[in-house]
């Protein structure tokens, strides 16, 4: 057996035991939604929107897994995952991947609740309807 066949056999074994979860695509979809929330809030509140998003992030961060401790909000209204992308989450345990998805959902829910708190239920309804359309391909 050649080295090429051994390597390809090993790499196939690694992927065959994993559910395919494209972390980069998930984070892109998340950031699209996160950015949309920021833009929506900016349109309604103006420059105060960044402070609202930042406060919401700081209140949510202690309840998230340690993956997010180095993350921050960028000026463009996206979440910079910090060192998260440097870890190869494809090869990590399913629990870590599940925590990642749970955390992303928790962050989005907190942001939607910030919209409801600052703008009201009508804006929340509109926002959620529009968020459903973003990233439908995942």
Q: Tell me the C-alpha to C-alpha distance, in Å, between residue 29 and each of 5, 43, 48.
A: 36, 21, 25
State the residue for tokens 């949309």.
36
Burial 9-39 (b: 16+ CB within 10 A, else e): eeeeeeeeeeeeeebeebbebbbebbbbbbe
Q: What is the DSSP letter of 85?
A: G
CB atoms within 10 A of CB 77: 19
Mean pLDDT of 87-97: 63
pLDDT at 10: 40
The three-state secondary structure class of 101 is helix
pLDDT at 97: 77
Q: Is the pLDDT score of 100 beyond 70? A: yes
Burial 119-135 (b: 16+ CB within 10 A, else e): beeebbeebeeebeebb
Q: Please, which residues have CB within 8 angstroms of residue 108's CB and are 6 or more apart in sequence?
A: 30, 33, 34, 37, 131
Q: Is the pLDDT score of 116 beyond 70? A: yes
């Amino acid at each position: 057996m050649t080295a090429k066949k051994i390597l390809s056999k090993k790499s196939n074994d690694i992927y065959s035991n994993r559910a395919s979860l494209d972390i980069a695509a998930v984070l892109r979809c998340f950031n699209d939604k996160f950015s949309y929330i920021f833009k929506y809030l900016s349109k309604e509140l103006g420059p105060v929107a960044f402070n609202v998003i930042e406060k919401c992030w700081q209140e949510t961060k202690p309840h998230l897994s340690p993956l997010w401790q180095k993350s921050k909000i960028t000026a463009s209204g996206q979440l910079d995952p910090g060192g998260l992308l440097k870890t190869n989450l494809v090869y990590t345990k399913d629990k870590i991947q599940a925590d990642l998805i749970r955390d992303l959902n928790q962050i989005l829910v907190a942001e939607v609740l910030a919209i409801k708190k600052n703008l009201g239920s009508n804006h929340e309804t509109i926002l959620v309807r529009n968020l459903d359309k973003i990233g439908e391909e995942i």
